[in-house]
Homo-oligomer: A and B are copies of this chain.
Amino acid sequence: MEFAFDSTTQDLIERMNAFMDEVVYPAEPTAHEQIERNYREDRWEPPAIIEDLKAEAKRRGLWNFFLPGEKGAGLTNLQYAPLAEITGRSIQLAPPAVNCAAPDTGNMEVLHMFGTDEQKQQWLEPLLAGEIRSAFAMTEPDVASSDATNIETSIVRDGDEYVINGRKWWITGAMNPNCKVFIVMGKTDPTAERHRQQSMILVPRDTPGLEVVRGMHVLGFHDRDHGGHAELRFTDVRVPASNLIGGEGEGFAIAQARLGPGRIHHCMRSIGLAERAVEMMVKRASERVAFGKPISDQGVVRDWIAESRVKIEQLRLLTLKTAWLMDTVGNKGAHTEIQAIKIATPQTVEWILDKAIQVHGAGGLSQDFPLAEMFAGIRTLRFADGPDEVHKNSLARAEIRKQLAR
């Protein structure tokens, strides 16, 4: 057992920190203005400055960390973890700057693992190059989508094509016009065995019958900077049969394969976000005076700061161990730990954000600090890929099984 990072990781951490200090943090004010302007002008685009950041990141060789193997940066999950955490410190800018932003990372992994050469050529290459963005269309408005077998979108074979009908919502990134392709989950055979009914298929943005209805809001935020969360309607949408990813009935298995890394990446970034929040909380508490002394001298605020530190340290270690398990025994072997961090992260980070906001007074809820938007983002994680309650129930079942098997 050894808690120091290896030298490759240590080196990348230093380079990432330099990139943050020299490039990303200084870009935040400009980005903020651009985001505000896009918002006022009703546009759903990332701030233009992101392209500069991407160019600089590429130049520095800080790119595609998330993808193992030669196509990516060749890192293990454990090596990627602290880098993802660092990107979480500037959650709107840093992940896309190094081409490690959701949902593209998950989509690239799906294409990397399950795509045909043609699919890779057409979609994976420009995604890896950071030229286009993508979305993952799974959740539906009419059913409890945490239970994947509830999904109602149909994907029906018709000659050389598949015909797609259905509704989706909370499709992150899909409002962004540069989001060029959707990976859509639907049922090819509703009569098959429960986990063999689903398939995944690629649908280009401009396909007739695909309607981007509206952007969903999150606690008042539109999340326009990363393409929002769209409601989509598929009406007799036709794509070539070759757009299917893997075979018919493999949708559930592919989704499962996608979820593990997706979840841990969210957790890693959220920890960086929490660190940023603690930093802001300490700074504000030290600067602000009430009733004759800095707020940081108040016992209750001290209590919050201490608890934040104690919580983060524990959460980070579990996330790192989970990454190590994924590397050593595979995503399946790390199933319980992936669930555990999926449960622990949002509740921990939401708690910290709540206190950071409270230290900022009403300003903490406003557009003058990023805390409110961070709160909204983390709050959604208590639903994303299934609500906490579903994961807790499943984790408990596994624990009971394991204990009784002894």
Contact = CB atoms under 8 A, between A and B. Distances in A.
A60 interface: no
Interface stretch (A86-94, A182-190, A357-365): A357-365
Given A144-B290, A404-B282, A299 B393 contact: yes
Interface stretch (A99-107, A123-131, A318-326): A318-326
A317 interface: yes
B217 A219 contact: no
A378 to B, nearest CB: 11
A182 B343 CA distance: 47
A337 interface: yes
Contacts of A290: 144, 146-147, 150, 390
B362 A383 contact: yes
A309 interface: yes
A63 to B, nearest CB: 23
A6 interface: yes
B144 A361 contact: yes
A399 interface: yes
A49 interface: no
Q: Is the interface of A mostly helix, strand, loop or mixed?
A: helix
Contact of A361 (B222, B306, B387, B396): B387
A383 B361 contact: yes
Interface stretch (A157-165, A200-208, A240-248, A367-375): A367-375
A55 interface: no
Interface in A379-406: 379-380, 382-384, 387-393, 395-397, 399-400, 403-404
A366 interface: yes
A393 B300 CA distance: 9
Contacts of A113: none
A147 B156 CA distance: 52
A144 B291 CA distance: 9
Interface string A9-47: 100000000000000000000000000000000000000
Contacts of A387: 358, 361
Contacts of A237: none
* Category for how many chain A residues contact B: 35 or more
Contact of A337 (B301, B306, B313): B313
Contact of A343 (B5, B6, B78, B306): B306
A218 interface: yes
B362 A400 contact: no
A150 B336 CA distance: 36
Given A1-B6, A390-B290, A399-B282, A217 B139 contact: no
Contacts of A305: 395-396, 399-400
A144 B295 contact: yes
A140 to B, nearest CB: 11
Contacts of A399: 278, 282, 305-306, 309
Given A144-B361, A220-B222, 8 more contacts: A1-B324, A170-B362, A220-B220, A220-B373, A302-B397, A307-B343, A309-B396, A362-B380
6 contacts: A170-B362, A220-B220, A220-B373, A282-B404, A291-B390, A313-B337
Interface of A: 1-6, 9, 78, 139, 141, 144-147, 150, 169-170, 216-222, 278-279, 282-283, 285-286, 288-291, 295-296, 298-303, 305-307, 309-310, 313-315, 317-318, 320-321, 324-325, 328, 336-337, 340, 343-344, 358, 361-363, 365-368, 372-373, 375-376, 379-380, 382-384, 387-393, 395-397, 399-400, 403-404
